[in-house]
Amino acid sequence: MLAFDAVESAQRRIAPFVHRTPVITSHTLDHWLDTQAFLKCEHLQRVGAFKYRGATNAVQSLSPDDAARGVAAHSSGNHGAALALAAATRGIPAHIVVPRTATRSKRDAIAAYGARVVLCEPTLEARIDGVADVIAQTGAVEIHPFDHDDVIAGAGTAALELVDEIPDLDVVVAPVGGGGLLSGTAIAAHGRRADMRVVGAEPAAADDAARSLAAREIVAPGPPATIADGLLTGLAPRTFAVIAEHVETIVTVSEAEIVEALHIVWQRTKQLIEPSAAVAIAAVRREDYAGARVGIILSGGNVDLALATR
């Protein structure tokens, strides 16, 4: 299992390239959540998501020979954009396999950062096959969006910054899809303080992580059916091992709760977060954290602006 010092090393490695994002509070949001919430604003990270941390750590960790081969990954959007920019920063090629159902804004962002976009069907099997084809054609190094130690360690640096800035947190909450952010968050939080509670947040319509934690084994995800398009992938053995050991529970929330949380944050804090980030807000609203100091990782802000007019 990944050690805490890997997160600390990642923090030093990526510091020249990433933003140290702010932690903000809102009295109105605290009242709505019935708690004290400290929002780690990874939607203000470069490429608009925490994913830039892990991608940068992975790319900057490559040997010169491996870097020269370029990098490849599958992504619903944010990891693809992050890897594209991380690769461009190091001056190497990137090839991103993207489900054809990914939002136009995310697909355009990947291309804008200089990567080659390869579309595939919206299934895990199609993503995996697409990356395998790209690697066979180009010799690129795969940088998995979450099943990769350097990616997990980089993702954990967001929580490390949060708990260092607000050291007396009672709970840290992060959304979970493939588990890279949540497992990195757990390693970082418990590396600083073993008694800190770590909680995952997940759409009820894509609740394979919650079911996996309850079953103590990985449960395969079903067909995607949630507005939180960044949380559609299932756990990997690497991320599940950390979550099973370090995460207290995974709270599931309905689509209506996600949309309500999204609109509350937009209206009351003026922060443009995406639905995947709103899942964590909705989870805190659902649970009873009265009197607690809760850190919430706002994972990204690459929202389809058409949502704002619905």
pLDDT of residue 106: 76
Confidence band of 310 (pLDDT split at 50, 70, 90): low
Average pLDDT of span 143-157? 97
CA-based nearest residue to 82, from 18, 126, 156, 127: 18
pLDDT at 22 over 60: yes
* pLDDT tens digits, 262-281: 999 999 999 999 999 999 99
Q: pLDDT-based confidence at 189, cuts 50/70/90?
A: very high
Q: Hey, what domains does the chain have and what are their CATH numbers?
A: 4-49+148-309 (3.40.50.1100), 52-142 (3.40.50.1100)
Q: Between 216 and 308, where is the model more confident?
A: 216
Output the pLDDT for position 197: 98
Structural tokens at position 284: 């805190």
**Do the beta carbons of residue 201 and residue 175 sit within 8 Å?**
yes
CB 144 within 8 A of CB 151: yes
Reported as a single tens digit per residue, the pLDDT across 55-82 is: 999 999 999 999 999 999 998 778 999 9
pLDDT computed for residue 307 by the predictor: 55
Tracing tokens 């449960």 back to the chain, one arrives at 219
Q: What is the pLDDT of residue 306?
A: 64
What's the pLDDT at 309?
A: 55
Q: Rounded to the nearest 5°, which phi and psi values hold at 222?
A: -90, -170
The pLDDT of residue 224 is 72
- 266-269 long-range Cβ contacts below 8 angstroms, 24+ apart: 266/308, 268/26, 268/28, 268/29, 268/32, 269/24, 269/26, 269/28, 269/29, 269/39
Nearest-angstrom CA–CA distance, 131 and 114: 18
| Tens of pLDDT, residues 91-120 | 999 999 998 887 787 788 899 999 999 999
